[in-house]
Amino acid sequence: MTEETKAVETQAADNSATANTIDLTAFYGVKAGMTRIFDENGNHVPVTVVKLIPNIVTQVKTKEKDGYEAYQVGYGIKREKLVKKPIKGHLKKSDIEENLTKFAEIKNETVSTEDLGKTLSVNNFSADSYVDVTGTTKGKGFQGVMKKYNFSGGPAAHGSHFHRTTGSIGNRATPGRVFKLKKMPGHMGAVKQTTQNIKVVEVNVEKGYMLLKGSVPGSKNGFVKIAKALKK
């Protein structure tokens, strides 16, 4: 009888946990770094480790009020001291106790105000599925054209005065100006980038991590968006 009671309690806890979660097409995690694993055949597979963090629905966008349907998701928990007052008021209005600092919207075909305060689950992202990962690339600072655009550069001989510079950027009197989008030295990196069709190797909810095959954009400890692959 005791075992039956424990089974009933466990099932009730699972049902309660399921009722407090919602499945969406995307979620946000933290890039923890890269490592390697070995598959069943002993092949070396490089993987990116994504730390699973709480994603909570902080607002429900409806057609009647906002003109479109979407869920606003909050993530990135910090100390209460580091949360600004407007954000505290927004979270208090949604009856959310966690000190969230980052917010993003995820569109969905149907929305419900009953989902406010629920946590996103990763049930839609199983092993061997494919995802699109979006992150902010590493900042490289001000770089020249050889590093930024892989220009070949000039001769390396001593007599040459043209080594790593840009070279000609336009004509003479006609057109008398430099065309827009000309590849020139400037700031490199620190831009939003998406890598598509990345294979999910493993999802471990208990230990709170996900393994993705290969590399993903972004620096260590940076936030990344993981969404269902659009082209798979």
- pLDDT, tens digit (0-9, with 9 covering 90-100), for 73-98: 999 999 999 999 999 999 999 889 99
Domain presence at residue 195: yes
- Catalogue the E-assigned strands of 111-214: 119-120, 130-136, 141-143, 186-188, 192-204, 209-213
Q: What is the mean predicted confidence (pLDDT) over 213-230? A: 95
Domain presence at residue 147: no
Domain presence at residue 66: yes
Domain presence at residue 170: no
Q: What is the mean predicted confidence (pLDDT) over 216-225? A: 95
Domain presence at residue 30: yes
- For position 111, which CATH number holds? 2.40.30.10
Residue 156: CA count within 13 A, CB half-sphere: 1
Q: At residue 11, does pLDDT exceed 80?
A: no
* Buried b / exposed e along 144-174 (16+ C-beta atoms within 10 A): bbbebeeeeeeeeeeeeeeeeebeeeeeeee
Of the candidates 216, 191, 196, 214, the one whose C-alpha atom is nearest the C-alpha of residue 137 is 191
3-state DSSP helix/strand/coil % of the chain, to nearest 5: 20, 35, 45
Domain presence at residue 5: no
Q: What is the mean predicted confidence (pLDDT) over 180-184? A: 94
Domain presence at residue 179: no
Domain presence at residue 148: no
- pLDDT confidence bin for 194, thresholds 50/70/90: very high
Query: Looking at the 3D structure of the chain, how many domains does it have?
Result: 1
Q: Which domain holds residue 47?
A: 23-139+188-228
Residue 132: CA count within 13 A, CB half-sphere: 13
Q: What is the pTM of this model?
A: 0.82
Of the candidates 53, 60, 30, 35, the one whose C-alpha atom is nearest the C-alpha of residue 122 is 53
For residue 170, what pLDDT is reported?
Answer: 86
Percentage of the chain exceeding pLDDT 70: 92
